[in-house]
Amino acid sequence: MQKSNKSIAGYHLLMILSSVDGEFAPEEGMMVQQYLADEFPFNIDLDNELETIALLQPEEWKSHFEFHGRCFFDDSTEDERKSFIQFAKTLIKADDVVSDEEHTFYTLLKNLWNIK
């Protein structure tokens, strides 16, 4: 897999976080849209990224998530990672239900980045 920049890696992380419970809630979609607006002030075509994510099998999510977590880590500051973790926490709470899967992946990211 080719290394992603921080913004693309963040998109992959958020899309997986919002999908691991088997439901992509509208509230989560709005938050992903906000992330895209903040990270990409210009129009960007993410069709290839979305296709890559959509073609993943559930058993591939964890390794894909960890890979993009490392890509984000490599291109970010500690403050950016802490801010992203807060955003990710808000994302998984957006539909008022935090599934075990969402919590597991959120915790995985915190551990990967060594955030307490």
Tell me the DSSP string of 15-39.
Answer: HHHHHTTS---HHHHHHHHHHHHHH
The per-residue pLDDT for range 91-116, each reduced to its tens digit, is 999 999 899 999 999 999 999 999 98
- Mean pLDDT for all residues in the chain: 93
User: Given this model, what pLDDT does residue 41 score?
Assistant: 75
| DSSP-derived secondary structure letter, 90 | H
Q: Which CATH class is domain 6-112?
A: mainly alpha
pLDDT value of residue 112: 97
Spans of all domains in the chain? 6-112
For the chain, the straight-line distance linking the first and the last C-alpha, in angstroms and rounded, comes to 29
Whole-prediction pTM: 0.93
User: Pick the residue with more confidence: 22 or 62?
Assistant: 62
In the predicted model, what is the mean pLDDT of residues 48-52?
92
The confidence score (pLDDT) of residue 44 equals: 80
